Every structure is written in C-alpha cells, then in structure tokens.
Structure 1
C-alpha cells in the first residue's frame, strides 16, 4: 500500500527553502508519494503560516494528518537531528582523512612508490595547512575559542592570530623543506605551548571546552584529538631539524 504525503514549502524566484528540499527528498527516499505544494512568495508563505497557526514551513502531512516540520519528519522516521547536535569529532576526522589521502597520492605521484616516511611528512604538513586554512577563514571567531585555553593567548590575544599563520605557513614551507632552520623552531615552540595548554586545561583543570583547532564555532571537544595536532607538529618540527642538521 502506497504512503501519501503532502508538503507545503517555500519556493520563490529568490529563495528555495533548504529544509523543504531536504524534507521532500527524505519523503521520496522513504517510499512516500509526495504532493508538493509550493508557497511562491514571501507573502503567501507568511499568510499560510498565520492562517494555520504554524511558526515555520515546510509543513508535512501524512495521509491527511499533520506530521509537522522537517525535524518532526526526521524524528518520525527514526533519524537523528539535522544538523547534528552536540560535540563531534567529524571535522577533525575529515581533515586528517583527506590529508592522509593527499599524502599517499602525492607521494606516489612524485616518487612512484609509497615511502612511509614521505607519506608521514606530507600527512602532517598537509594537515597543518588545512587546519591553518580553517582558522584563517574567520580569525576573530577562532581567536575567541583559542584564548579560552592557550596559556599565551589568554595573556596576549594577538598571539592567537599569529598561531594560525604559523600553522598554515609552517605546513606549506615544510612540504618543500624551505627555510627549515627558521620554520621548524618556530613551529616547535608554538606547538609545544599548545600541547602544554591543552594538558593544563583538560587534564589538570578538567575544563570542558571546545577546541579551536578547526576554526571558530566548532563542536570538537578539547582533548586528546586536539592534543594530537600539537604533538604531530612537534614531531614534524623535530624531524625536519634532525634531517637538516
């Protein structure tokens, strides 16, 4: 027996409601025959909500009975919140996963073989670059999170901005081993301060904070994964110095 749903969603020349699009797609993928009703102007959308006592659209009806909004549909179908709520390591996993893939393919393309040492070097350098980009895209928001736990930035806020540039530039220069005797010590000092700061905030003072490692406003918990970023940078700096000296 086919299931029938009706969705009222905002579709205008200037605006396509993303929740309406996602609700219709979710209904289709779950076997519903969908009657798609468009609210084609802002005025029509507001009138529809006012006349029916709704706070928002889209509104979904199943077999003539009101189900509710996109969130209500997800709950009805046993799905989690969209977007995800609470803390998550997904941003860091994405960065490290893509950086690892780039390191493997770049090593193969340049050497014609998979040198584990070169893969490791590039993995850390690429990770630094990507994490630096995420910080640099919104420096003010990133700094707001960083100053909450970094031992230097909490006393001298401009250091938060400097750290983002150190990470991004350090990663880029380390890819080609440029100015190692200058870059590596700076990265080593900055990452060591970062590691000590995280240990102090998380393991000594037991503070529950979000990490600014993937930029401002993230829901990544400050902890071992965040600490690993600094430990990898420290290892890379020491390795680069050892190779050069």
Structure 2
C-alpha cells in the first residue's frame, strides 16, 4: 500500500528501443515499500549523459528520497536492508537446481511410464539426467569450462583436448544411460571420466588443499570445488558399475 507520507524521485532510462531493467526493479522496490514515486524518464542518450554529469554519477537509475540521493538499484536494496548480490559469492544454488530438476523429471517419467514412483528406474534416470543437465551447462561455453577444468583435472592438464571433449562425453553417456541403449559405450565412458574426475578433485581439494571453483556447472558458476564435483563423479562411477552389473547379471 502506498504511504502518502513517503515519496521518492526516480530517474531512469525509458527510450524507444530500451527500457532500463534496473529502473523497473527500482520502481517495483519503491512501490513494495509503500513509496509514492515521481517517475522521471530519461528518454535520450543526451538527456541521460547530461543527468549523469549533473549529479556526478556513472549509472542510472538513480533514486532520491527526502532530497538525498540514495543511488542505483543495489544502493536502494541496501537502503531497505535487502541483500545485494555479490557476483563473487560462492553458491550451491545452481547444483541444487540441477539435481532438483533431474529428480523431478525422473519421478515424472517414472509415473508416466510405470505408474509408480517406487522403482529402481527413476533412480537410474536421476543420475543419467543429472549428467546431461550438468553437461548442458558445460556445453554453453566450452572455452570457459575448459579453462576452469584445466586448473585441476589430471588428464586434461596432460592432454588439453580432453578438456574440450569432456562435456560431450558426459552428455553422450547420460543420454545412452537414460535410454538404456549401447551400454558398451556408455559404461566405459562413465567409468573413465568419473574415475579421472574423482581422483582429480580429491587430489586438488583434499591433498593439495586448493580452493578452486568447480567446473561442474560450466565456466561461469561460483560453486566451490569439492564435495559437489566429487559427488558428480562418484555418481557417474556408481551408475557405470550398476549398468555393468545389469548387463552381466540380467536378473538384477
């Protein structure tokens, strides 16, 4: 609810081909906190540059409350006591989102195809779909991934092409395991890349005690190297061994 005693002036870029997203966020935040907004549009580049020069600021939007300049969107969040995103902050959110999505897809597929959630198949699908989702993130920017991967993977540091091939190998193994086809390809690939990955992570984190970013979610994430990446590789090894056991022991 808007409080008539609370007012703010917001200067933001609103042009024919560009509306500043942070200006919209600032307006929403002010409205959320009950402020009446005097919304000042900066409709041309010249008008925007003149405003920035006049107030000695480098960016827009800019919010003023009670005649005092609060600043841009991040400053406004701080003003209201909200957390400000730190691009360098370590976070497990990408991994949690991936595993939650993989689990949901596996359970949904199990319910649609088997009519039950209580089966071994959704567990297999959870691992294989997780592999594909993680590989997808790596494939978005193989160059960034390979650079980060070369920081700790034992094989890639000796043979650079492996860093470029890894995402595709993981994706193919996951796809074949999801479909339960060509196990003579998927099993050795999963065991190979999983074993090397697990050894590399263990050596870098638990032997050398290095603090590195994990390449498991691609080259742009801030997931710490350690338990998550080790878990990813151990899941691949476990899936490979399980599929091998199923191939050799048909009654499983």
Aligned length: 245
Q: Does 1:52 align with 2:55?
A: yes
Could you tell which deviates more after superposition, 11-20 or 218-227? Answer: 11-20
Task: Name the SS for the 1:155 alignment partner.
Answer: coil
The match for 1:200 is: 203
- After superposition, residues 86-235 of structure 1 pair within 5 angstroms as 86-235=89-238
Q: Does 1:20 align with 2:27?
A: no
The match for 1:63 is: 66
Task: Name the SS for the 2:24 alignment partner.
Answer: helix
Shift of 1:85: 4.1
The whole-number CA distance in structure 2 between the counterparts of 1:116 and 1:34 is: 56
The match for 1:32 is: 35
The whole-number CA distance in structure 1 between the counterparts of 2:75 and 2:234 is: 43
The whole-number CA distance in structure 2 between the counterparts of 1:85 and 1:34 is: 33
Q: TM-score, normalised by structure 1?
A: 0.97
Q: TM-score, normalised by structure 2?
A: 0.94
The whole-number CA distance in structure 2 between the counterparts of 1:85 and 1:63 is: 33
Q: Deviations over 1:100-151 (max 9, x none)?
A: 1111111000101113411110111110111111011110011000000000
RMSD over aligned Cα atoms: 1.2
8 A Cα contact 1:143 1:161, kept in partner:
yes
Task: Name the SS for the 2:11 alignment partner.
Answer: strand
The whole-number CA distance in structure 2 between the counterparts of 1:173 and 1:224 is: 26
8 A Cα contact 1:145 1:217, kept in partner:
no
The whole-number CA distance in structure 2 between the counterparts of 1:158 and 1:30 is: 53
Q: Which runs of 5+ in 2 are unaligned?
A: none
Shift of 1:83: 5.5
The whole-number CA distance in structure 1 between the counterparts of 2:81 and 2:232 is: 35
Q: Deviations over 1:78-115 (max 9, x none)?
A: 11113654110111011001111111111000101113
Shift of 1:67: 1.2
Q: Which runs of 5+ in 1 are unaligned?
A: none
Shift of 1:65: 2.0
Shift of 1:224: 0.4
Displaced runs of 4 or more, over 2 A: 82-85
